[in-house]
Amino acid sequence: MNLFWFLGLFFISGFCSLVYETIWLRMAMGVFGVTAPFVSIFISVFMAGLGLGSWAGGRLAQRLRSKPASTTLRLYALAELVIAVSAVAVPILLALSKELLADALAGVDWGSSGYYWVSGLFVTLALLPWCMCMGATFPLAMASIEKRFTRSCAGSFSYLYLANVIGAACGTLVCAFVLIELFGLRASAVLAAVLNVIIALLAFILSLERSMGAALTSAESSPAGPHAAGPRLLSLLFMTGLVSMAMEVVWIRQFTPFLGTTIYAFAIILALYLAASFAGSCLYRAALRRGAASDHFAWIISGALGLLPLAAANPYLPFNGPLRVLVGIAALCGLMGYLTPSLVDRWSSGDPHRAGTAYAVNILGCILGPLLAGFLLLPHMAERHALAVLSLPLFAVGFLSVRSLGPRRFFGAINAATFYAALAVLASAQVFLSVSFEDRLGELGWKTEVKRDYQATVVAAGTGMQRMLLVNGAGMTKLTPITKFMAHLPLAFLPRPPQNALVICFGMGTTFRSLLSWGIEVTAVELVAGVYGVFGYFHSDAQEVLASPRARIVVDDGRRFLARSPEQFDVITIDAAPPMESAGTSFLYTKEFYSLIAARLKPSGIVQQWFMEPLEPSVMSAFASALKESFPYVRVFLSVEGWGYHCLASRSPIAAYSAAALVARMPPAAARDFLEFGPHARMAEQMEAAISKEIAIDDLIISGVRPLRDDHPINEYFFLRREFPKLWP
């Protein structure tokens, strides 16, 4: 057996692991909500499984030292087979969690720590066994290499890490850009499972061979640099995991204004992160073969490279989004790709048990990094300041590396301390001189108000009717009469006096405020706390509105609220954040979502679903078909501004009232609110403009396009359809 077989096995294994992570996260968000705390919990559980599996696999490999190499290779094959089972098991376990969640969380407050503890327990039960098997593959394969090759293989971890990382990068891109769009979530997971089975069969066949090919070169068997196996190396491994993953959270928020909010934006950042790590690992392997692997210079420049995203995110630079990300993060990610396998190799010297422990420590840092950035740093400071804080430990280690080098070993006559001091000064200047997206709005003369929390950075900008709401730099909504019609149309068509209403997606609060003008109880559900925090920027009477005993705002995922709430409403109105291709938007348009809506509507209640005109008729058709199949009665009205549709849906017939009859049903306060933004000055004209452009729901549906489902969110995954339109009917 040639050692290159292990490269192939770990490339495919890394590919599958990112496919699973992407798909499982998507499925889990449909059950537990699209919130930053839950995403952090999911990633923590996934990474914890890898860490525990790495540690446990190392312990197992140590106990099997007296066994032949075929034993550990067959255990590796078994681990891959178990991972394949997860393609079927995890969706079943998550569906079971959905059934049990309501009972387990009865009486638990929204967004409370109790809710997240219970959610975390269900996610752990669903994911942990399979993730542990993924983590165990490293030490089990290393044990097989150690036993089957005649020479010491102290660099075996970095050898496997190299293949695994580039496989993960490919898995990220192929899953996001190809698999889910073509096959959906469940089928994509099954395809990954087939690959895991192939890996397992290959590993089992290879375990039957009695001998293997050439070992690693002798230069690779002794990584250069300090060999001290003390806590210093483990602390550095912990720090690299923590800093790199924390910075990734900051990068996503920092580059969103330039990349957009699509699935592909996040996939690009992750893929570039992994690809750069692969390049760094390649450099380390090349240095290892030459016997010249040293990390001194890498640590010296690491702090400065951590601040490069500040320059790349300068809004005045004429770069496109992907190029900004490449310039900003590639150097540091490459450095981390160099340092991580170097540190593990130095700690383990090829010993699977020690490698498993070291990798588990690195993963522990990866678990805590997103929590540090998302819940401690970003809610309280700008992205540039968060990066500065995260770069400080890198500067500290760099300073210690300078001291250990001495001036004569650093570029000959150049004094290392002077160089490092100049580097630190330049980095500090970059922090203070950098310009953020919201800074540019201010420099352009826009009035702005900024709110930060663990979920997003919210910016309210502009004056008069030109005011805008931006979340992570993406425009969400503007002051428009359309958002008033979202409230008044369904309430006016209701066949009886309304008592309460629910608005999903608070936005500027216009719809919430208009619903309250009917004198009814109104609940608003908003995912981002900072959004309702700028309510007063758009409406001068915001404090008075919020003080009303009839007003309630819940900071939560709208879908999760529907699943947990026992309440029923006369009217539910939904206005999902644009654009329609944004990551997570499909959760508010699928048949599964409408089944939750139907359960929360009172008899003869009406749901108002706003459809913004998407870029593709097929997407609009999928939206409309899901609504039509969920409710037997649907009426559709083109908006007063000539774009987008108000869809009124109910389980009971929706009467065909005239404009005059609808106006007569409105209370005086609601009538005044209805006219506030125009476009007409009289009630009859305003209502006539709202209902005169009615179309049939079937006019939006294309034959052969299936209704939108959770398993196949075609609005979010569109790359192939748009780049290769001739391949699509």
The CATH number covering residue 492 comes to 3.40.50.150
pLDDT, position 144: 84
pLDDT, position 498: 96
Q: Which residues are paired to 645 by β-bridges? A: 611, 638
Sign of the Cα pseudo-torsion (37, 38, 40, 44, in order)? positive
Say if residue 341 is preceded by a cis peptide, omega within 30 of 0.
no
The total of other beta-carbon atoms located within 10 Å of residue 661's CB is: 13
Task: Calculate the CA 222 to chain-centre distance.
Answer: 39
Q: Can you tell me the distance from the alpha carbon of 333 to that of 278, in angstroms, rounded to the nearest whole number?
A: 9
Asked if residue 258 and residue 199 are part of one domain, the reply reads: no
Query: Confidence class of residue 403 from pLDDT cuts 50, 70 and 90?
Result: low
- Single out the residue of 633, 565, 628 nearest to residue 605, CA to CA: 633
Q: What is the mean pLDDT of residues 173-184?
A: 95
Task: For residue range 14-34, list pLDDT tens digits in order.
Answer: 999 999 999 999 999 888 888
> 647: part of which helix (H) or strand (E)?
strand 645-650
pLDDT, position 213: 42
State the average pLDDT for the chain.
86
pLDDT, position 320: 83
Tokens 């991580």 belong to: 340
pLDDT higher than threshold 60 for residue 406: no
Asked if residue 700 and residue 583 are part of one domain, the reply reads: yes
Q: What is the mean pLDDT of residues 689-701?
A: 94
Question: b/e for 361-370, b at 16 or more Cβ within 10 A?
Answer: bbbbbbbbbb
Domain boundary among the residues 222, 254, 271 is at 222
Pair 110, 556: CB distance under 8 Å: yes
- Single out the residue of 269, 342, 347 nearest to residue 299, CA to CA: 342
Q: Can you tell me the distance from the alpha carbon of 273 to that of 267, in angstroms, rounded to the nearest whole number?
A: 10
pLDDT higher than threshold 50 for residue 227: no
What's 468's DSSP letter? E
- Single out the residue of 489, 622, 633, 503 nearest to residue 556, CA to CA: 503
The total of other beta-carbon atoms located within 10 Å of residue 99's CB is: 9
Asked if residue 178 and residue 254 are part of one domain, the reply reads: no
Q: Can you tell me the distance from the alpha carbon of 33 to that of 164, in angstroms, rounded to the nearest whole number?
A: 30
Q: What is the mean pLDDT of residues 630-652?
A: 95
What totals of helices (H) and strands (E) does the chain contain, helices first? 27, 12
Asked if residue 619 and residue 557 are part of one domain, the reply reads: yes
Residue 233 lies in a domain: no
pLDDT higher than threshold 50 for residue 161: yes
Residue 410 lies in a domain: yes
Pair 529, 549: CB distance under 8 Å: no
Asked if residue 111 and residue 11 are part of one domain, the reply reads: yes
Residue 234 lies in a domain: no
pLDDT, position 218: 41
Q: What is the mean pLDDT of residues 521-540?
A: 93
pLDDT higher than threshold 60 for residue 43: yes
Domain boundary among the residues 165, 191, 222 is at 222
pLDDT higher than threshold 60 for residue 224: no
The total of other beta-carbon atoms located within 10 Å of residue 129's CB is: 18
Report the range of poorest mean pLDDT among 51-55, 290-294, 524-528, 697-701: 290-294
Distance spanning both ends of the chain, measured CA to CA:
47
Task: For residue range 317-367, list pLDDT tens digits in order.
Answer: 888 889 999 999 999 999 999 999 889 888 888 788 888 889 899 999 999
- Is 696 exposed, middle or buried (CB count within 10 Å of its CB: 0-12, 13-18, 19+)? exposed
pLDDT, position 32: 84
Report the range of poorest mean pLDDT among 422-431, 487-496, 600-609: 422-431
What's 178's DSSP letter? I
Q: Which range, 64-68, 243-247, 259-263, is most confident?
A: 243-247
Asked if residue 635 and residue 565 are part of one domain, the reply reads: yes
Residue 143 lies in a domain: yes
Q: What is the mean pLDDT of residues 585-591?
A: 93
Q: Which residues are paired to 450 by β-bridges? A: 459
Asked if residue 265 and residue 339 are part of one domain, the reply reads: yes
pLDDT higher than threshold 70 for residue 148: no
Q: What is the mean pLDDT of residues 528-555?
A: 93
Q: At what angle do helices 4-32 and 69-104 cross, to 10 degrees?
A: 10
Name the more confident of 631 and 293. Answer: 631
> 448: part of which helix (H) or strand (E)?
strand 448-452
pLDDT, position 405: 60
Residue 444 lies in a domain: no
For residue 339, what is the domain's CATH number?
Answer: 1.20.1250
Tokens 């009865």 belong to: 106
Report the range of poorest mean pLDDT among 98-107, 223-232, 381-390, 673-682: 223-232
Residue 588 token pair: 């508010």
Pair 492, 571: CB distance under 8 Å: no
Asked if residue 567 and residue 615 are part of one domain, the reply reads: yes
Beta strands at 468-471 and 474-478: parallel, antiparallel or unpaired: antiparallel
Residue 460 lies in a domain: no
What's 639's DSSP letter? -
Domain boundary among the residues 190, 222, 254 is at 222
Q: Which residues are paired to 449 by β-bridges? A: 460
Alpha helices in 175-262 (DSSP H): 180-207, 231-259
pLDDT higher than threshold 70 for residue 516: yes
Query: Confidence class of residue 288 from pLDDT cuts 50, 70 and 90?
Result: confident
One-letter amino acid at 682 equals R
Asked if residue 252 and residue 203 are part of one domain, the reply reads: no
Residues 6+ apart with CB under 8 A from 409: 416
Alpha-carbon torsion, ordered 347, 349, 351, 354, to 10 deg: 0
Domain hosting residue 330, numbered range: 243-435
Name the more confident of 39 and 132. Answer: 132
Pair 531, 471: CB distance under 8 Å: yes
Query: Confidence class of residue 210 from pLDDT cuts 50, 70 and 90?
Result: low
Q: Which residues are paired to 517 by β-bridges? A: none
Residues 6+ apart with CB under 8 A from 666: 488, 491, 492, 518, 674, 683
pLDDT higher than threshold 70 for residue 52: yes
Name the more confident of 237 and 396. Answer: 237
The total of other beta-carbon atoms located within 10 Å of residue 633's CB is: 15
pTM comes to 0.88
Per cent of the chain over pLDDT 70 is: 88
pLDDT, position 564: 81
- Single out the residue of 247, 225, 50 nearest to residue 133, CA to CA: 50
Residue 254 token pair: 């920092």
pLDDT higher than threshold 80 for residue 221: no
What's 293's DSSP letter? -
Q: Can you tell me the distance from the alpha carbon of 266 to that of 311, in angstroms, rounded to the nearest whole number?
A: 20
pLDDT higher than threshold 70 for residue 408: no
Asked if residue 273 and residue 217 are part of one domain, the reply reads: no
How many structural domains does the chain have? 3
Residue 461 lies in a domain: no
Q: Can you tell me the distance from the alpha carbon of 219 to that of 288, in angstroms, rounded to the nearest whole number?
A: 6
Asked if residue 314 and residue 189 are part of one domain, the reply reads: no
What's 151's DSSP letter? S
| Helix, strand, coil share of the chain (percent; to 5) | 65, 10, 25
Residue 236 lies in a domain: no
Q: Is 703 helix (H, G, I), strand (E, B) or coil?
A: coil
pLDDT higher than threshold 70 for residue 431: no
Asked if residue 206 and residue 87 are part of one domain, the reply reads: yes
- Single out the residue of 567, 546, 594 nearest to residue 499, CA to CA: 567
Query: Confidence class of residue 424 from pLDDT cuts 50, 70 and 90?
Result: low
Pair 517, 541: CB distance under 8 Å: no
Q: Is 691 helix (H, G, I), strand (E, B) or coil?
A: helix
One-letter amino acid at 555 equals V
